[in-house]
A and B are shown apart, each in its own frame.
Chain A
């Protein structure tokens, strides 16, 4: 299972998109991601991309 991104990684990703979250925002996001990331991994297994032609 992919590891949860660190607060510094999340901040960097957000800032790359022009958004500057607070420390509290990052913690709140991590609470959501703790539930979402494992579910999204399962989703990618459930609905894999179609095999390339040929």
Chain B
């Protein structure tokens, strides 16, 4: 059941917050051993909070809804591990701003979700907590870094989740797990109480079943936080109310090079999705985005040193406690010169101006979320257009262009290849989450890709993925 429908059922008294939490915890107990989406399950706390919620009498928009958050987001009294041995002692006294918002809205936080160590990688194969497994094919990765968030949604282990995104970490697992995810504009959601990766790119955002669910979650967590200097003081539109406006008349820029660069089967699914948008009244405009081919380099010129700065003290004193791949990435930041970083900053400004001009021609951009299917756990390469390619390099051109300019991006399920989900990325202008969600919702009203369930959730699933 989608988060929006569950919230409505709770409000209507069809079930109580305790019953919703118990149901969710039962599924976690039964299914999570096969998926490893959770690092910490807050069973007792969640049930107590559900009971307290009923006693309080206040009913917010997420009243009684069981949710879970990526384990870089602080929940008071519960360890934040970031899937790393380095943080095993972090026991926050306060909720992250987004968790406080969830609670104010009546949500019950049932647990903390697995991720790539320190959210710095896209595999979610922590050497310390084990890999999160893709519910559609448990021998494959679920993407990352918010892999547990994507897996939990796909396996019905939470009604909705929060992840974080620096260079694709919400979009990638949403795509690979057949979930709907939204990277909001950078600064739209407070990062206070969240373990950073590279602060000028980081944002919290929702991963759930539908665009409507994401709209509900974003409406709760978005907004100015005076205690976070990067938080934008901008009005938050009523996302849910704007969902129904459809795509008729919208000009959607199709990023041709990204469609053509993807695995041919992925491109085919995306082209079918674009045809669906056209049939709903959108006008498709083939185009290219300035500096697209340099976006990954520009982001890395800034992201590597930013991330290394965050970790500098631990690199000096606890280097051996990091997993090998994250250790290497953090060490790379030691060797990026100030001149390169400054060139990255200048190029980022040019890229932002280029995107701003693109959005004078179109209201939305579309591309594949990912060009490839998720690799098997243990493999770091994929075949792309007949060439063996490092997975971490394949994803960069599809994700960095939008992170770089702080644009909102949704990943929407749009088909299957070999039984694995494929995602359509819908990109909006800065602070244009409403138009992104509106297009995603229109697409989901006309298709049922987001309703398909992996066999792991229900062996008799009414609508398994086509082969």
Contact = CB atoms under 8 A, between A and B. Distances in A.
Contact of B343 (A28, A32, A35, A43): A43
Given A19-B315, A19-B319, A28-B324, A47 B347 contact: yes
Which of B297, B304, B329 has the most A CB atoms < 10 Å from its CB?
B297
Nearest to B327: A25
Interface string B310-334: 0010011001000011011101101
15 contacts: A13-B334, A14-B334, A18-B316, A19-B319, A21-B331, A25-B319, A25-B327, A29-B328, A29-B335, A33-B335, A36-B297, A36-B332, A46-B343, A47-B346, A49-B346
Contacts of B336: 40
Contacts of B301: 40, 43
A40 B316 contact: no
Interface string A23-49: 011001101110110011011101111
Interface string B322-363: 001101110110111001101110110010000000000000
Interface majority SS (helix, strand, loop, mixed), chain A: helix
Interface in B235-283: none
B342 A10 contact: no
B197 to A, nearest CB: 16
A36 B347 contact: no
B393 interface: yes
A43 B331 contact: no
A47 B343 contact: yes
A20 interface: yes
A7 interface: no
B300 interface: yes
A17 B335 CA distance: 10
A29 B332 contact: yes
Contacts of A47: 343-344, 346-347, 350
B406 to A, nearest CB: 18
Nearest to B350: A47
Nearest to A50: B346
A29 to B, nearest CB: 5
Which of B319, B328, B340, B393 has the most A CB atoms < 10 Å from its CB?
B328
Nearest to B344: A43
B298 interface: yes
3 shortest A-B CB distances, which residue pairs? A28-B328, A47-B347, A47-B346
Interface of A: 5, 10, 13-14, 17-21, 24-25, 28-29, 31-33, 35-36, 39-40, 42-44, 46-49
A5 B335 contact: yes
Contacts of B300: 36, 39
A19 B297 contact: no
B294 interface: yes
A43 B300 CA distance: 11
Given A19-B334, A32-B328, A49 B342 contact: yes
Contacts of B304: 36
A5 B343 CA distance: 21
Contacts of B312: 17
A1 B336 CA distance: 16
Given A18-B316, A35-B393, A43 B334 contact: no
A43 B327 contact: no
B294 A21 contact: no
Contacts of B297: 36, 39-40, 42-43
B340 A43 contact: yes
Nearest to A40: B340
B335 A13 contact: yes
A35 to B, nearest CB: 7
Contact of B319 (A5, A21, A48): A21
Given A40-B297, A43-B297, A43-B301, A19 B340 contact: no
Contacts of B316: 18-19
B331 A29 contact: yes
A35 B332 CA distance: 12
